[in-house]
Chain A
Amino acid sequence: AQTVTQSQPEMSVQEAETVTLSCTYDTSESDYYLFWYKQPPSRQMILVIRQEAYKQQNATENRFSVNFQKAAKSFSLKISDSQLGDAAMYFCAYRSAYNNNDMRFGAGTRLTVKP
């Protein structure tokens, strides 16, 4: 079964600085999707970024980018120019391309942004 591991329960970053959140996953499948979701105190789960495993190019969404290393099964999230509003829980998630509805989530990383 696929598993998603986030080894950093908590991270902190100074406002305007850059932070990287780690995520590794375990799978025997060759085609899949990876996601980062943000959960602020409001509780809403917000999709931050999505990566398709067959695409070598790392996904980017404004200040958010990923470092996707397929061979290493690593999918880290980089947040540049951190803002106070980035403070939240961040969840890494894996979804099989063969079973659209088998989405596995990591345990989450709580990000604190210091002013």
Chain B
Amino acid sequence: DAGVIQSPRHEVTEMGQEVTLRCKPISGHDYLFWYRQTMMRGLELLIYFNNNVPIDDSGMPEDRFSAKMPNASFSTLKIQPSEPRDSAVYFCASSYRGEKLFFGSGTQLSVL
């Protein structure tokens, strides 16, 4: 298996633009997580899905953030409109039955 695949690897956008981050989890995994990593706050859980259903989105900073998982092999995290304070590395991770967490390579987002 190729592991968790995220795209794009880097994203540079201007304030106010819509940003969509993509994730393909490991085949057969039933949990998918979105994390954000910043120097100030470290790794924060934004939202997670179980069997494509959002279970806990309490970590989503505000209504500008939304996440979807239309099927077992794809998820998106959308920020609309983006702001400079959203600049961070966004990680997607997946696991089977909540066991070991496998991370993607992350998306480095820069909002100018």
Known: A100-B97, A101-B56, A105-B42. A47 touches B106 (CB 8 A): no
Q: How many B residues, CB 8 Å from partner? A: 24
Among B98, B102, B103, B106, which residue has its beta carbon within 8 angstroms of that of A101? B98
Report the interface size class on chain A. Answer: 10 to 19
Main secondary structure of the interface of B (DSSP, over half): strand
For residue A59, CB closer than 8 A to chain B, the reply is no
- A47 engages B101 (CB within 8 Å): yes
- A103 engages B97 (CB within 8 Å): no
For residue A30, CB closer than 8 A to chain B, the reply is no
For residue B112, CB closer than 8 A to chain A, the reply is no
Bound CA–CA A96/B105 (angstroms): 25
Bound CA–CA A43/B88 (angstroms): 12
In the complex, which residue of chain A has the Cβ closest to the Cβ of B104?
A44
- B42 engages A50 (CB within 8 Å): no
Q: Which residues of A contact B (CB under 8 A)?
A: 35, 37, 42-47, 50, 91, 95, 100-101, 103, 105-108
